[in-house]
């Protein structure tokens, strides 16, 4: 007979590991099924750091979720003793009318979030490594900083296991279907049944959630680590912020202080400058011309940063057309299936609160968190007539 559970979680990356934790903390009998091992680098939740911030330029609707995520970072840190979030402060730099600056200011004002507006001279004075143009300004947020993706996933998996969740690694879901009042899920090893299925497939969404009708684009993205000229002392997180920097063309780069000691330098990346790929065909080699383009761009904003190139790694974004998330009951299976995907390169900072929302949806069918923006029906292709 098939083993039976209250909830099966497909995918134990960022979102799925958080869902497994919140579900099992509420007493649900949980099975987690993951294609790879625990905390791996084949998807979207690796690379040592992710930016977190509250004055959210993407849309003020995200702010209440961020406020809750910050509370949950602390709970997670206390429950596991792992380093989850480091609030070293952050600057959103660009022209006053750039999306990065104007959008951040809109969220800060709408939600009354503490922030400072800095002109170019003030940016240079407070953060001597940064070299803005005279017409650039910054919104500074003391509560911005970074979260640790691997530690966060490991912490959620640890807590889920502690509450009795069955977490199976190297066991991919090959297919699933509605079954009696729930679902039946197949893997090469076994067939399982459950009342509820929560699908958190990351970059595998195009195939696993084809029936949502959402045109996802999976993108290859690169993270770069450079050894700054003169070493990492000036990039210490005690006094160096995270930054997102938009130039006059609208292109954004972002980066971190030197959080892993002198040998590992500091990490930078382009935001949303990816090339379309699939998880099966992604080019994992980072090429010299890509490193050169990153170094060239950073030398305009933070001349001390691109000293020696240390290493690079690839990662995938799962983009929706409007770059807003998909978090909902599955429209075709509203009683038994919940989906979380399309995080469009900005999902990690929300991981703990997404876990809470997924547990709400799977166990009660609804959530008190504001998730109207994330309804997949906004993106579904019109049915052919």
Ligand X SMILES: Cc1cc2nc3c(=O)[nH]c(=O)nc-3n(C[C@H](O)[C@H](O)[C@H](O)COP(=O)(O)OP(=O)(O)OC[C@H]3O[C@@H](n4cnc5c(N)ncnc54)[C@H](O)[C@@H]3O)c2cc1C
Q: Which of 94, 103, 182, 201 binds ligand X (CB under 6 A)?
A: 201
**Which residues belong to the annotated binding site for FAD?**
6-36
The window from 28-36, 74-82, 178-186, 368-376 that contacts ligand X (CB under 6 A) reads 28-36
Report the nearest approach of ligand X to the CB of residue 171 (Å): 7
Q: Which residues of 20-30 are buried (b: 16+ CB within 10 A; e: fewer)?
A: bbbbbbbebbb
Report the nearest approach of ligand X to the CB of residue 73 (Å): 12
Closest residue to ligand X, judged by C-beta, is 13
Output 137 or 167, the one with its CB closest to ligand X.
167
- Residues ≥6 apart with Cβ < 8 Å to 122: none
Which residues in 349-368 contact ligand X (CB under 6 A)? 349
Report the nearest approach of ligand X to the CB of residue 340 (Å): 7
The window from 100-108, 121-129, 314-322, 377-385 that contacts ligand X (CB under 6 A) reads 314-322
- Planar angle of CA 39, 264, 278, nearest 5 degrees: 45
Strand, coil or helix: 374: helix
| Residue 319 binds ligand X, judged by CB under 6 A | no
| Residue 345 binds ligand X, judged by CB under 6 A | yes
**Both structure tokens of 117:** 């507006």
Output 122 or 198, the one with its CB closest to ligand X.
198
The window from 38-46, 59-67, 97-105, 302-310 that contacts ligand X (CB under 6 A) reads 38-46
Q: Which of 45, 98, 100, 232 binds ligand X (CB under 6 A)?
A: 45
| Contact assessment for residue 153 and residue 41, using Cβ atoms and an 8 Å cutoff | no
Q: Which of 200, 214, 253, 328 binds ligand X (CB under 6 A)?
A: 200
The window from 81-89, 176-184, 245-253, 340-348 that contacts ligand X (CB under 6 A) reads 340-348
Q: Which of 5, 8, 11, 176 binds ligand X (CB under 6 A)?
A: 11
- In order of 131, 172, 238, 300, the CA distances from 303 in angstroms are 7, 45, 20, 6
Q: Which of 4, 26, 29, 36 binds ligand X (CB under 6 A)?
A: 36
The window from 40-48, 62-70, 89-97, 280-288 that contacts ligand X (CB under 6 A) reads 40-48
The window from 7-15, 96-104, 281-289, 358-366 that contacts ligand X (CB under 6 A) reads 7-15
End-to-end Cα separation, the chain, in angstroms:
43
- Residues ≥6 apart with Cβ < 8 Å to 265: 225, 226, 227, 228, 232, 258, 307, 308, 310
- Which helix (H) or strand (E) is 52 found in, with range? strand 50-52
| Residue 145 binds ligand X, judged by CB under 6 A | no
Which positions from 262 to 301 touch ligand X by CB under 6 A, shown as an x/- string? -------x--------------------------------
Q: Give, to the nearest 10 degrees, the angle between helix 149-162 and helix 63-80.
A: 70
The CA distance from 300 to 282, in Å, is 29
Output 195 or 221, the one with its CB closest to ligand X.
221
Nearest to 225 by CA among 287, 146, 296, 306: 306
Nearest to 190 by CA among 38, 338, 33: 33
**Both structure tokens of 39:** 């905390």
- Residues ≥6 apart with Cβ < 8 Å to 236: 257, 258
Report the nearest approach of ligand X to the CB of residue 207 (Å): 8
Which residues in 50-69 contact ligand X (CB under 6 A)? 50-51
Report the nearest approach of ligand X to the CB of residue 92 (Å): 13
The CA distance from 172 to 163, in Å, is 23
Task: Name the residues that contact ligand X, by CB under 6 A.
Answer: 10-16, 33-36, 42-45, 47, 50-51, 172-173, 200-204, 208, 221, 223, 269, 315-317, 343, 345-349
């Amino acid at each position: 007979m098939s083993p039976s559970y209250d909830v099966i979680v497909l995918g134990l990356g960022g979102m799925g590991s958080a869902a497994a934790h919140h579900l099992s903390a509420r007493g649900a009998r949980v099975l987690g099924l993951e294609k790879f091992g625990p905390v791996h680098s084949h998807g979207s939740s690796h690379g040592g750091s992710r930016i977190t911030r509250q004055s959210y330029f993407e849309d003020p609707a995200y702010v209440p979720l961020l406020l809750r995520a910050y509370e949950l970072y602390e709970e997670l840190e206390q429950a596991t003793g792992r380093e989850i979030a480091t609030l070293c402060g952050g600057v959103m730099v660009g022209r006053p009318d750039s999306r990065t600056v104007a959008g951040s200011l809109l969220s800060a004002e709408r939600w009354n979030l503490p922030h400072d507006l800095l002109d170019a001279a003030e940016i240079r004075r407070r953060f001597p490594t940064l070299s803005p143009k005279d017409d650039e300004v910054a919104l500074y947020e003391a509560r911005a900083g970074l979260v640790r993706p691997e530690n966060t996933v490991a912490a959620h998996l640890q807590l889920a296991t502690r509450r009795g969740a069955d977490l199976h690694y190297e066991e991919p879901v090959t297919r699933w279907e509605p079954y009696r009042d729930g679902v039946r899920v197949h893997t090469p090893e076994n067939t399982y049944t459950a009342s509820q299925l929560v699908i958190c497939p990351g970059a595998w969404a195009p195939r696993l959630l084809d029936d949502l009708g959402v045109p996802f684009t999976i993108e290859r993205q690169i993270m770069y680590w450079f050894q700054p000229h003169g070493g990492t002392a000036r990039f210490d997180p005690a006094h160096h912020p995270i930054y997102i920097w938009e130039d006059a063309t609208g292109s954004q780069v972002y980066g971190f202080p030197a959080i892993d000691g002198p040998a590992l330098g500091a990490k930078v990346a382009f935001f949303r400058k990816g090339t379309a790929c699939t998880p099966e065909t992604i080019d994992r080699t980072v090429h010299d011309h890509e490193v050169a383009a990153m170094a060239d761009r950073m030398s305009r904003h933070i001349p001390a940063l691109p000293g020696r190139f240390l290493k690079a790694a690839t990662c995938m974004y799962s983009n929706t057309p409007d770059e807003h998330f998909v978090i909902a009951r599955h429209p075709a299976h509203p009683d038994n299936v919940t989906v979380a995907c399309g995080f469009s390169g900005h999902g990690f900072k929300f991981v703990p609160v997404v876990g809470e929302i997924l547990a709400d949806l799977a166990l009660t069918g609804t959530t008190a968190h504001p998730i109207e923006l994330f309804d997949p029906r906004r993106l579904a292709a019109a049915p052919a007539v």
